[in-house]
Amino acid sequence: MKVVYEPTGAALEYAKLALNPYKGCVHRCVYCYNNGRFGKKGAFFEGPKPRTGIAADVQKDLVEIKNKYHGHDCPEIQISFLGDAYQPAEISLGLTKLLARKIMSFDIPFTILTKSNLILRDLDFLAGYPKFRLGMSFTTVDPNEAIAWEPGTGYIEDRIKALKLFKAAGCKTWVSLEPVMRVESTLKTIKLIHPFVDFFHVGALNHIEPPKPIYLPEAYRDIMVALEFHHCQYKFKKSFTDM
């Protein structure tokens, strides 16, 4: 396969297959793992770069995937690990929408992880596909923290609205609580959004210092208690469980 690939490391805990419409992101999250991986610090935030010929390559990869699994039990494809699939460039380029339609045409399950309410543009056709799940990423529901930690993502209220509307449309939803920047912020997030979430993934912050020290065993306990209290389905990533 050329553009649909098998992720490794922590990404594999989310999905067995992945696809990145864009490389680069304008969200400028302070905890972004990709910042500095592909050149100097900050280069990743200069804007998304669509891969040349990606539509044709995806078509070939989907044929290969369908043949490999004989048309049944194909693993879910996650979009995306290299920048948000619904950042502003998507408005004019429509690349994520194009690739989503291609995946649907092969009857393959897929999920999109985003922080953007721009995904509401595609609510009708995504929610109408039974093998689609909406993933949304949250570190906080506090507007001031969101501006400080994720300055390019827009209003946190809009992200919550998108999650609610997809859930109301009958779409399966999941949320990435990764990274945990402040335990108190994660607990508030769970309390506010859990009615609209079918599954939570929880991951620790592990490559920058948090706003204040986090003792992982205590954080694990407090977050698990909150998830259990609200009867949530969840999984802690190895960044928590392998401490």
* 203: confidence class by pLDDT, cuts 50, 70, 90: very high
Tell me, yes or no, if the pTM score tops 0.75: yes
**Can you tell me the distance from the alpha carbon of 140 to that of 187, in angstroms, rounded to the nearest whole number?**
9
Residue 71, pLDDT above cutoff 70 = no
Q: Which tens digits make up the pLDDT trace of 130-140? A: 999 999 999 99
Please report the DSSP string for 177-213 in residue order. EEEES-HHHHHHHHHHHGGG-SEEEEEE--SS--SS-
Which CATH code is given to the segment(s) 9-241?
3.20.20.70
* Averaged confidence pLDDT in the chain: 93
Instruction: Tell me the mean pLDDT in the region 167-190.
Output: 98
Q: Which tens digits make up the pLDDT trace of 154-164? A: 899 999 999 99
Instruction: Show the CA angle centred on residue 192, arms to residues 186 and 198, nearest 5°.
Output: 85
Residue 62, pLDDT above cutoff 70 = yes
Quote the pLDDT of residue 142.
Answer: 97
- For residue 231, give both structure tokens: 């009867």
Quote the pLDDT of residue 88.
Answer: 93
- For residue 66, give both structure tokens: 């369908």
- For residue 86, give both structure tokens: 């619904």
- For residue 29, give both structure tokens: 């999250």
Q: Locate tokens 């793992």: which residue? A: 33
Q: Which amino acid is at 86?
A: Y
What is the CA 3 to chain-centroid distance, rounded?
18
What is the CA 93 to chain-centroid distance, rounded?
20
Quote the pLDDT of residue 36.
Answer: 65
Instruction: Tell me the mean pLDDT in the region 46-61.
Output: 89
DSSP, res 39: S
Q: Which tens digits make up the pLDDT trace of 72-111? A: 788 999 999 989 999 999 999 999 999 999 999 999 999 9
